[in-house]
Amino acid sequence: MDWARTIAIARKETLQIRRDLRSLIVVLVMPVMLMSLMGYGINLDQTHVPLCTFDQEGSQQSQDLLKRFAHNKYFDLTLNARNYDEMIAAIDARQCTVGIVIPLLFSQRLREGDAVGVQAIVDGTDPNTANLVIGYAQQVTGDYSTTVAVNFMQRRGLGVVPPLSVDARTWFNEELESRNFIVPGVVAIVMAVIGTFLTSLTIAREWERGTMEQLISTPVSALEVIVGKLVPYFVIGMADAAFCVMIAIWWFEVPLRGSVLVLAGASALFMAAVLLMGFLISVVAGSQLAASQFSLLITFLPSFLLSGFAFPIDQMPLAVRLFTFLIPARYYVVILKAVFLKGSGLVANGSQFLGLTLFTTVVGTMAVRSFKKSL
Amino acid sequence: MSIGANSVEVEDLVKRFGSFTAVNHVTFQARTGEVFGFLGPNGSGKSTTIRILCGLLQPTSGLARVSGIDVAKNPEVVRKNIGYMSQKFSLYNDLTVVENLRFFAGLYGVEGDRLKQRIAWALRMANLEGRESSRTATLPGGWKQRLALGCAVMHQPSVVFLDEPTSGVDPLSRRQFWELIHQMSGEGVTVFVTTHYMDEAEYCNRLALMYRGKLVAFATPSELKRTSMKGDLILLECESLGRAIQLIREIDEVREAAVFGNALHLVMKESSAPIAPLRVHLEAHGIHVTRLEKIRPSLEDAFVALTGHAPEPAAESA
């Protein structure tokens, strides 16, 4: 590799990037747009679920239980139905997601120590929400049931037996904020999309404009072309990465507990991987249009669905799980979450770093090999 | 390399694209320091041959050597010693004049004082002094061509390949460009140039004429004109050329008849064949003949005689 030729390519590419202001603005605005879109748009927590009640009894005790539902951050009371039909209509109209029905003789049966069922009717069109809602409803009734049981025993003069409970402590994401878990992954998706897009046009553009024929008639080598072109885009890509991380820390207030250095190292490696992927696409695609569409296709959805960013890889079928190893974001998402939330370092993420390095090396070699200096 | 040695050698060169044979067993040599003209209609295999010589295409079979080096085996060594200007304008339009020059100088490893000298030389040669920081996109066609030449020869190569350098350029710029070509040739550079223009072919030391992938002639312009025609060339000026050409073709002694401007050029089957009967034949059909005489063939006549076709006007070719 000849450094003078590599520098000549890098300098030329930098000049061209600087002259193409429109693309440069897109590249700098895109992270802000994607980060806010996905940071706000993707929320796996369910609070303020619209609630509808139907109290068939109307006693003090039944109202007491319903108050526990209504005065809770998980539920918002939207309707006190007077009959079943009214409640069903409200669920149909999406006025509420869950309906709680208190049966007749609720307080009497409780007094007599009988088991009583409280009915919860849940809109199951969104199974994820339905599951969460059922969990919340069980928690509310469980608490109430404990209170009732303790009261019952006290009235009979029996000693108070504290019920068994799990004392759970959550580590790394103490408030179980799904944003803390989502945002670091969003950084990976944004970088994958932008990085690949940046370089996917550069080789195809030279073929389309006819400048490639002149370029390959000179003694410049494939490696020099790719390294030379990589340098300016790497600088832009890393600036974008820093931008994304800053948005994550200062805007979304995701705690950064690990070392900035490990984060930077992983980001540099990941940026190199996606830039080289863009080169490979650019060499293979031939036209700018095909290259840009293809780069979006192979980065956005796979990084979104198969990186473990929001959907756990362990839960995927074996074939899909094996396929995820071909997606560079898979390694980077794990490192990002670990560095952000757990504060773990290089050693703890060793296998991810190794995977990412391997991926980068293979893709880089393929890019250099596929770039032919002939027509 | 001594003067008069061959700096470009092509032996039995074949290039096929699928079932299409673009270059069909072609053999020729270009001597060091000469202006070598590569002539032929669109799709005759000129550009393909030039691209093989620059290492941009692999030959199917045969040998291509530049400065004694086998291009197919050592393309990188060849690339260091040649300059290539492709048919389509292929500099960076979004870079300035001097940025383009500096970029190609960088790729050819021209540095330091030599870089300054070469840039100054290229600007003077291309008549672009004062336009150093103009965007290349804003330059007129002829200026772009001269800049492209400057970029291609930053490293002072011993052989320069120019693929239709003057197509789409105004006549004055074409003339200036040919002056540059002769200047380089005077300095010992072998200039290998393809063209559509017959007047430009006249400026070449030697010509190779390609037709449908085959080399149909390889000689100096004057040799070509002298030897390409077996019979005499006759100029015929008359009324209604369309009808006249029909009538002339009925005459056995005439091998070929073609319209040339506002007259006909006829090639007789034998030299010194009598031409008076032609006038008699036409006047008998009521066509008045204003001029009928034997003339010296032009390069264009030679071209027609060798290929059976008139040269096509300049356009994009493969």
ipTM above 0.90, yes or no: no
A219–B76: do the CB atoms touch at under 8 Å?
Answer: yes
**Percentage above 90 pLDDT, chain B:** 53
Mean pLDDT of B225-240: 84
Instruction: Judge whether B110 lies within some domain.
Output: yes
- Give me the phi and psi of B303, to 5 degrees please: -60, -50
Residues B68 and B87 in one domain: yes
A15–B82: do the CB atoms touch at under 8 Å?
Answer: no
Average pLDDT, chain A: 88
Instruction: Judge whether B306 lies within some domain.
Output: no
Q: How confident is the model at residue A155 (pLDDT cuts 50, 70, 90)?
A: confident
- The three-class DSSP label of residue B256 is strand
A5–B109: do the CB atoms touch at under 8 Å?
Answer: yes
Q: How far apart are CA A272 and CA A276, in angstroms?
A: 6
Residues B157 and B273 in one domain: no
Mean pLDDT of A50-79: 88
Residues B236 and B99 in one domain: no
Residues B142 and B180 in one domain: yes
Name the residue of chain B whose CA is nearest to A17's CA. B94
Mean pLDDT of B94-99: 95
pLDDT at B314 over 60: no
Instruction: Judge whether B42 lies within some domain.
Output: yes
Q: For residue B107, list chain A residues with Cβ-Cβ distance below 8 A.
A: 5, 8-9, 215, 218-220
Q: What is the pLDDT of residues B131-189, one digit of tens each?
A: 999 999 999 988 999 999 999 999 999 999 999 998 878 888 889 899 999 999 999 99
A218–B107: do the CB atoms touch at under 8 Å?
Answer: yes
Instruction: Judge whether B173 lies within some domain.
Output: yes
Of residues B3 and B305, the one with the higher pLDDT is B305
**How high is the pLDDT of residue A143?**
84
Q: What is the pLDDT of residues A334-362, one digit of tens each?
A: 999 999 988 888 888 899 999 999 999 99
- The three-class DSSP label of residue A100 is strand
**How high is the pLDDT of residue A111?**
80
**Interface residues of chain B, partner chain A, Cβ below 8 Å:** 51, 54-58, 75-76, 79-80, 82, 84-86, 88-95, 99, 102-109, 111, 148, 151-152
pLDDT at A195 over 60: yes
Among A102, A107, A98, A97, residue whose Cα is nearest residue A66: A102
Instruction: Judge whether B160 lies within some domain.
Output: yes
Q: What is the pLDDT of residues A30-39, one digit of tens each?
A: 888 888 888 8
A12 contacts chain B (CB < 8 A): yes
Q: Domains in chain A, ordered, with CATH?
A: 3-43+177-370 (no CATH), 49-155 (3.40.1710.10)
Measured between alpha carbons, how far is residue A291 from residues A141, A299, B113, B156 in Å?
56, 12, 41, 37
- Give me the phi and psi of B5, to 5 degrees please: -70, 165
Sign of the Cα pseudo-torsion (A275, A278, A282, A283, in order): positive
**How high is the pLDDT of residue B4?**
53
Q: How far apart are CA A61 and CA A31, in angstroms?
A: 53
Domain holding B246, by residue range, is 230-296
Name the residue of chain A whose CA is nearest to B96's CA. A15
**How high is the pLDDT of residue B43?**
84
pLDDT at A176 over 70: no
Global confidence as pTM: 0.80
In this structure, what CATH number is given to the domain that contains residue B282? 3.30.70.100
Domain boundary among the residues B226, B252, B276 is at B226
Instruction: Judge whether B302 lies within some domain.
Output: no
- The three-class DSSP label of residue B39 is strand
Which residue out of A2, A9, A12 would a mutagenesis test of the B interface target, given it has the greatest number of B Cβ atoms within 10 Å? A12
Q: Beta-strand (E) ranges in chain B?
A: 6-17, 20-31, 35-39, 61-66, 69-70, 82-85, 159-163, 190-195, 206-211, 214-219, 233-238, 254-260, 263-268, 289-295
Q: How far apart are CA B88 and CA B294, in angstroms?
A: 41
B156: left (phi over 0), alpha (psi -120 to 50) or beta: left
A375–B80: do the CB atoms touch at under 8 Å?
Answer: no
Residues B209 and B263 in one domain: no
Residues B81 and B215 in one domain: yes
Q: How far apart are CA B27 and CA B90, in angstroms?
A: 29
Residues B147 and B273 in one domain: no
Q: For residue A214, list chain B residues with Cβ-Cβ distance below 8 A.
A: 84-86, 90-91, 104, 148, 151-152
**Percentage above 90 pLDDT, chain A:** 40
Residues B138 and B21 in one domain: yes
Which residue out of A213, A215, A223 would a mutagenesis test of the B interface target, given it has the greatest number of B Cβ atoms within 10 Å? A213
Instruction: Judge whether B282 lies within some domain.
Output: yes
Residues B247 and B273 in one domain: yes
Name the residue of chain B whose CA is nearest to A372's CA. B56
Domain boundary among the residues B226, B255, B274 is at B226
Domain boundary among the residues B199, B226, B253 is at B226
Residues B53 and B173 in one domain: yes
Average pLDDT, chain B: 88
In this structure, what CATH number is given to the domain that contains residue B22? 3.40.50.300
Of residues B57, B75, B102, nearest to A375 (C-beta)? B57
Number of domains present in the structure of chain B: 2
Q: How far apart are CA A265 and CA B66, in angstroms?
A: 48
A16–B94: do the CB atoms touch at under 8 Å?
Answer: yes
